[in-house]
Amino acid sequence: MLDTRPNQPLGDEKEHYWLVQRMAQANGTDLVAAVDAGLLTQADWAGMVQRCRGCQWAEGCQRWLDRPVDALRETPEACVNHAWFAELQDWLRE
């Protein structure tokens, strides 16, 4: 999927690493299991963080993740890694 939004400065690497981790936890994607199964390379994981760093929805993501919810949630469409999370979830279910 091609992102045609204008460029913006990249966010902090650590902050976005944790946003990707928190989003995976919120939507039930086990990133470590995906790496262990060979479904997600370290380069793929780094790419997810890099895409997150450039996402214009990062503040919305932060608010979405901060809302207390006890159950797993669908990844918001606004998440630049939405397709990655969906694909990994499908692969992990097989």
41 lies in a domain? yes
Residue 3 within any structural domain of the chain: no
Q: How confident is the model at residue 7, as a pLDDT?
A: 66
Question: Is residue 20 situated within a structural domain?
Answer: yes
In a domain, 7, yes or no: no
In the prediction, which pLDDT does 26 show? Answer: 96
Burial of 76 (0-12, 13-18, 19+ CB in 10 A): middle
- Whether pLDDT at 3 is above 70: no
Domain containing 67 equals 13-93
Please give the pLDDT value at position 2: 53
Q: Number of folded domains in the chain?
A: 1
Classify residue 4: in a domain, yes or no: no
67 domain-assigned: yes
Judge whether 8 lies within some domain: no
Contacts of residue 45, defined as CB under 8 A and 6 or more positions apart, other chains included, come to 20, 31, 35
In a domain, 86, yes or no: yes
**Model confidence over 9-67: pLDDT tens digits?**
899 999 999 999 999 999 999 999 999 999 999 999 999 999 999 998 988 999 999 99
pLDDT band at 85 (very low <50, low <70, confident <90, very high): very high
